[in-house]
Amino acid sequence: MDAIQLAVNSALNRIPMTSEQGLSLAKQRLDRAYAWLEGHLAGRTWAAGEAFTLADCAAAPSLFYADWTQRIPQAYPVLRAYRARLLARLSFARAVQEARPFRPYFPLGAPDRD
């Protein structure tokens, strides 16, 4: 979330860098995180193994907004599948659906997906 917050704070002029600089730095950090997560999630259904845990509850909103900030590349199919599984969970899908009216408030712009 730190990378995403950097991009958001720069877009809101809360830190001394331009929105473009903040977004560029955030994308670099997210690319590193995506590469690590791809390896970490290999062979697992959920973050800590085969059972859905609190780690997945924490990962869901982070990956939701991370993908909005820097789309998870096709080169990371394991991570993309994990995010899709999170979005398919009924509780998370409901939260995403109920938050739709608030998407315009996301400072980086909300994509027309998810």
The domain spanning residue 13 has which CATH number? 1.20.1050.10
Q: Answer yes or no: is 112 within a domain.
A: no
Mean pLDDT of 7-31: 98
Quick one: pLDDT at residue 27?
98
Of the candidates 24, 35, 43, the one whose C-alpha atom is nearest the C-alpha of residue 76 is 35
- What's the mean pLDDT when you consider all of the chain? 97
The mean pLDDT value for 59-65 works out to 97
- In the prediction, which pLDDT does 5 show? 97
The pTM of this model reads 0.94
Please check whether residue 111 lies inside any domain of the structure: no
Report the alpha-carbon distance of residue 107 to residue 114 in Å, rounded. 17
Residue 83 resides in a domain? yes
User: Has residue 110 been placed in a domain?
Assistant: no
**Considering the domain boundaries, does residue 82 fall inside one?**
yes
Q: What is the pLDDT of residues 63-111, one digit of tens each?
A: 999 999 999 999 999 999 999 999 999 999 999 999 999 999 999 999 9
66: containing domain: 2-105
Helix (H, G, I), strand (E, B) or coil at 32: helix
Domain count, the chain: 1
